[in-house]
Structure 1
Amino acid sequence: MKKQPVVATAPEFGSLVAELRSLIRTARHTVATTVNTLQVMTNFEIGRRIVEHEQQGAERAGYGELLVQTLAEQLTEEFGRGFSKRNLEYMRRFYLDYADRLPRIAQKASAQLNTRDIPLQPSEQSVTHQNPQKPSFALSWSHYVLLLTIRNPEERSFYEIEAARSGWSVPELKRQLASALYERLALSRDAKGVRQLADEGHVIVKPEDMLKEPYVLEFLGLDEKAGYSESDLETAIIDQLEHFLLELGKGFLFEARQKRFTFDEDHFFVDLVFYNRLLRCYVIIDLKLDKLSHQDLGQMQMYVNYFDRFVKTSDENPTIGILLCKRKKEAIVELTLPDDANIHAREYQLYLPSKELLRRKLLDWVRAQETGR
């Protein structure tokens, strides 16, 4: 009698599938990362050689532009897309902008690529930069092309660190650029904090580190001119929760909408409740359509007190309250809240901000800091 094949039990088979799935995904991710790294290093090396060749013919007027155009025609004919005049100019700029900052990478890339028959090994793909907190070619070429459009070196460094650390896709990076994330974070910091953004990215240590001004909610699709209620705003946020979490920043987990608690037989409702795992505390948000009043601030203080006394555990940090409003009055906030209050009023807007306006504000702020005014 022919023996029947032994079939794995359901739990054993499921475990095998999970292991194989993880193995395949890891392999594909490694391949993609290797290809991206090799492409970026190759483009860096192309840019280096173009610049060095240009310098040899520097006395000839227009030589650089003619060189790039001629190279683009010949390389495109031989290798196809990816070597247009515009792309070669990006490679040239990439080398010029990154050569001084990443000398060891340049040296390593040249050494590897000069050996034509030897591919880059995984151990050679990530060369430690002198500042270990900065990524070393950790992004794709498409990311770097977008980063090259940023003229301010500090701003570019910030977005490069954040894109690598947070795993932003190119569309996500575009959105953060369009929403002027760097300027909005910088305007809520002191001079040391602004320098830290460029050197270390967005590091959250204290509650103030997570705040922005304003919060940009253009992804909600609400018309600024049309009438909408607080309930409409809240529903739109829930419908676009993934985008809202990205706008809030790092470490946020959503817990509840219209969280009810009862105190002295009265019922109260908090619009949105989040938990921040980096700060290890609750973050409660109340939405306000009109300008902020002292009653709104007093109500939020009660909400924060309730969470601190009855919800958070002894090993968690104090609750943070955020009043998200269309208009706030600094004088009302300062007169109503004590200096050590863990409550913050922030404005929101339903359209992308003017980067130029925010940059001018940041420049004025920096000048005021430097002059001590």
Structure 2
Amino acid sequence: MDIAMGQNDLTNINNVVYQKLIDNITTLWGEAKSKAITAVNTELLDANWQTGKYIVEYELKGKDRAEYGKQLLVNLAKDLTARNGKGFSRSNLVYMRKFYLAFPICETVSHKLTWSHYFELLKCDNTLEMQFYYTESIKECWKVRELKRQMKSCLFQRLALSTDKAGVLALANEGHQVQTPQDIIRDPFVLEFAGLPKQKRYKESDLEKALKDHMEQFLLEMGRGFAFVGRQYSMQIGSRQFKVDLVFYHCILKCYVLIDLKRAEIKHGDIGQMNLYLNYFKTEVCQPDDNPPIGIVLGARKDELLMEYALEGITNQLFVARYQLYLPKREELQAQLDKLLDEAEQQQ
């Protein structure tokens, strides 16, 4: 009996030690793989940048640079592929060249991003837009698919249209700064990921459920700092019960954010209802170290003049904004932004 107990104890000790051995080796190889991936990415970026530099410097020696450069890339793609295998298509060489031209100083290339990030960034039409997505990708640790989505949703243009020329330049150089309640508002919010067809009739509860089911994408659209608290948050006020569609806590602004969804046009009564919710939260929910809550009434349409009168005199942080269930047309937003910048230039 004692011998059996002794063997069991030894087995248990051996199992603990053995599991520790497995854990140590697993951790070792996990860290090694991570370091290897980082090293490979660094070398790949440096090689792509250097290739672009070689191409540009060689082109400068040509006489008819436009035609010369075009034929050069065709010849390079063929000859480099024959000698080195895949990875040297004309398209790749074009982007390596653009990579060097966009980042002529090697030290400005951040190794926190991958070549796939830069490949998407180089599709931007202007420097301000590319600089914004470059900065935000680093700050927010966007994956490539997240970067592509933000670019498709024209995040830069949507944010830039809500500011002036100085704000556009700051947006490009510093990324999106969240310092005031106004900084979390987009107009419109783009909710294409909800999967509700543009023409299909849907209920507000359908939209609410779709946002809850796609919370990761919704948080990406909302921007940094949001933490989901709950859906259909219940409030008992007197003998009546009220529910707000979505509640978040903003970790940067240190306050609750309440969102009420409206399938159609926002009505003036919706403003009063949200104001009621905000007053309740200030008194019953917020802690002493919380800032006043923010309310957003989110609808498919809004009448600007009606909303101006409805919001007059309200001291709470209450905003109205539109949403759309499809990606915006980039050309239209860019045209509006170009007009804004041109008007700012003329006023100087």
Partner of 2:324: 349
Partner of 1:331: 305
State the Cα deviation string for residues 22-79 of structure 1 (Å, max 9, x = none).
5543332222122112111111101111111121233578332232222222211122
Segment drifting more, 68-77 vs 282-291:
68-77
Partner of 2:234: 260
Query: Which one of 116, 127, 140 corresponds to residue 153 of structure 1?
Result: 127
Question: Matched residues in 1 for 2:20 and 2:210: separation?
Answer: 40
TM-score by length of 1: 0.84
Question: Matched residues in 1 for 2:298 and 2:191: separation?
Answer: 11
Question: Matched residues in 1 for 2:243 and 2:16: separation?
Answer: 44
Partner of 2:249: 275
Return the letter of the residue paired with 2:331: E
SS in 1 for 2:296: strand
Return the letter of the residue paired with 1:358: L
Partner of 1:123: none
Partner of 1:214: 188
| Structure 1 residue 11: Cα displacement | 8.4
| Structure 1 residue 225: Cα displacement | 1.1
Residues 272 and 53 of structure 1: is their aligned pair in 2 closer, same or farther, counting only changes over 3 Å? same
SS in 1 for 2:207: helix
Residues 201 and 13 of structure 1: is their aligned pair in 2 closer, same or farther, counting only changes over 3 Å? farther
1:35 aligns with 2:10: no
1:75 aligns with 2:49: no
Question: Matched residues in 2 for 1:60 and 1:348: separation?
Answer: 47
SS in 2 for 1:212: coil
1:138 aligns with 2:112: yes
Question: Matched residues in 1 for 2:62 and 2:264: separation?
Answer: 64
Q: Tell whether the 8 Å contact from 1:251 to 1:278 is kept in structure 2 after alignment.
A: yes
Query: Which one of 199, 204, 212 corresponds to residue 238 of structure 1?
Result: 212
Residues 310 and 19 of structure 1: is their aligned pair in 2 closer, same or farther, counting only changes over 3 Å? farther
Question: Matched residues in 1 for 2:244 and 2:139: separation?
Answer: 32
State the Cα deviation string for residues 209-261 of structure 1 (Å, max 9, x = none).
11111111111111121111111111111111111111111111111110001
| Structure 1 residue 370: Cα displacement | 4.4
1:290 aligns with 2:290: no
Return the letter of the residue paired with 1:361: Q
Q: Tell whether the 8 Å contact from 2:231 to 2:245 is kept in structure 1 after alignment.
A: yes
Alignment of 1:36-51 (within 5 A): 36-51=41-56
State the Cα deviation string for residues 154-190 of structure 1 (Å, max 9, x = none).
0000011111222222222111111101011112223
Segment drifting more, 7-16 vs 33-42:
7-16
Question: Matched residues in 2 for 1:171 and 1:234: separation?
Answer: 24
Return the letter of the residue paired with 2:236: T
Q: Tell whether the 8 Å contact from 1:324 to 1:347 is kept in structure 2 after alignment.
A: yes
Return the letter of the residue paired with 1:204: V
Partner of 1:316: 290
- The alignment-based identity, stated in percent, is 43
Partner of 2:151: 177
Query: Which one of 38, 57, 65 corresponds to residue 62 of structure 2?
Result: 57
Segment drifting more, 265-274 vs 24-33:
24-33
Partner of 1:168: 142
Q: State the aligned residue count.
A: 342
Question: Matched residues in 2 for 1:324 and 1:252: separation?
Answer: 16
Gaps of 5+ in 1: 106-126, 130-134
| Structure 1 residue 193: Cα displacement | 2.3
Question: Matched residues in 2 for 1:63 and 1:331: separation?
Answer: 58
Residues 23 and 184 of structure 1: is their aligned pair in 2 closer, same or farther, counting only changes over 3 Å? farther
Gaps of 5+ in 2: none
Question: Matched residues in 2 for 1:302 and 1:25: separation?
Answer: 52
Return the letter of the residue paired with 2:220: L
Segment drifting more, 224-233 vs 1-10:
1-10
Alignment of 1:187-198 (within 5 A): 187-198=161-172
SS in 1 for 2:60: helix
Return the letter of the residue paired with 2:103: Y
Q: Tell whether the 8 Å contact from 1:187 to 1:213 is kept in structure 2 after alignment.
A: no
Considering fraction of residues, name the structure with more helix.
Answer: 2
Partner of 1:96: 101
SS in 1 for 2:202: coil
RMSD of equivalent CA atoms: 2.6
Question: Matched residues in 2 for 1:98 and 1:158: separation?
Answer: 14
State the Cα deviation string for residues 86-129 of structure 1 (Å, max 9, x = none).
21121112111211xxx2x2xxxxxxxxxxxxxxxxxxxxx4x5
| Structure 1 residue 340: Cα displacement | 4.8
